[in-house]
Amino acid sequence: MTSIAFIGLGHMGAPMAANLVKSGVMVKVFDLVPEAMKSLTDVGALAAKSACGAASGADVVITMLPAGKHVRALYLGEGSSDKGLLDVLAAGTLLIDCSTIDAQSAKHVAEVAASKGFEFVDAPVSGGTAGAAAGTLTFICGGSDSGFEQASKVLSHMGANILHAGGPGAGQVAKICNNMLLSVLMIATSESLQMGIDHGLDPKVLSEIMKVSSGGNWTLDKYNPCPDVMESVPSSNGYQGGFMVDLMVKDLGLSQEAALLTNSCTPMGALARSLYVNHARQGNGTRDFSSIFEQFSNIQ
């Protein structure tokens, strides 16, 4: 039986690891916050006392951590008093990082991993906490063909779409391109809806019109930012749950760093980052990213 170590059991990692347990593989978990492991041990996972303890002897290691510095610390030991996993694991262990991090860090870890005989696949996800719980995430992978092939088998227990963007780091680049586009669509949809409301239109009617017209997009179809237009979305629940503004700010920062590296022209992404930073600074950091709608609806 395949044994998997899952490290990082936050909003995303915990439901993802639970789906692996359900699929029948042996899962050993670790998180710096011990309480985070409880929901996993309740469904049959084993808890380890350290990341190394979880990963030792595993066939596959999966990580779901906040940012690049956490991933570099864990795999390389950078800035940490502990040795990196790459210094203690047996060569051949498949390493999959599902965190959203900068592509440079992902490439660097992949290079060091390859030099020590490991396949490292960056596999950031799209689909949010609901997709993580339902096992319907999209995994956007970067790595070698053989790494992708091996990773796909494991990731299929947690996702519906497993895509290969290219070599090491390509998954991260594709992920931040997607999130930059999503942020722009969310902002533009919000301002359009509010302008319609200001002119006396019903936002439900306007949404239906735009959905089947040339302005149709994912936010109108699945995630309307105007309260009470759609059921079961964060805007109809006080913007609770979903994808936090702080995480969107992080992803937009990554997209702007990436744009600088290649001198790419991303004016809409730059503006979207500024608007989301401003929104976070007004105390909205932990609310869902569709709450950007209030920047337009609350103007007096």
Contacts to ligand NAD by CB under 6 A: 7-13, 30-33, 36, 51, 64-66, 70, 74, 99-100, 125, 128-129, 243, 247
CB of 204 to ligand NAD, least distance (A): 26
CB of 127 to ligand NAD, least distance (A): 7
CB of 300 to ligand NAD, least distance (A): 32
Q: What are phi and psi of 129, to 5 degrees?
A: -70, -30
Q: Which is nearer to ligand NAD, 5 or 206 (CB)?
A: 5
Instruction: Report the catalytic residues.
Output: 175
Q: Which is nearer to ligand NAD, 128 or 227 (CB)?
A: 128
Q: Which is nearer to ligand NAD, 77 or 215 (CB)?
A: 77
Strands 137-142 and 125-126: antiparallel
CB of 136 to ligand NAD, least distance (A): 13
Cα–Cα distance for residue pair 272/65, rounded to 1 Å: 24
Residue 43 has which token pair?
């469904």
CB of 53 to ligand NAD, least distance (A): 11
Helix (H) or strand (E) holding 163: strand 159-166
Q: Which is nearer to ligand NAD, 8 or 147 (CB)?
A: 8
Q: Which is nearer to ligand NAD, 82 or 208 (CB)?
A: 82
Cα–Cα distance for residue pair 121/265, rounded to 1 Å: 28
* Residue of 284, 182, 287 lying closest to 243 (CA atoms): 287
Cα–Cα distance for residue pair 291/103, rounded to 1 Å: 28
Cα–Cα distance for residue pair 7/97, rounded to 1 Å: 10
What would the DSSP string read from start to end of 228-280? TSSTTSGGGGTT-SSSBHHHHHHHHHHHHHHHHHHT---HHHHHHHHHHHHHI
Q: Tell me the Ramachandran region of residue 135: left when phi exceeds 0, alpha when psi lies from -120 to 50, beta otherwise.
A: left
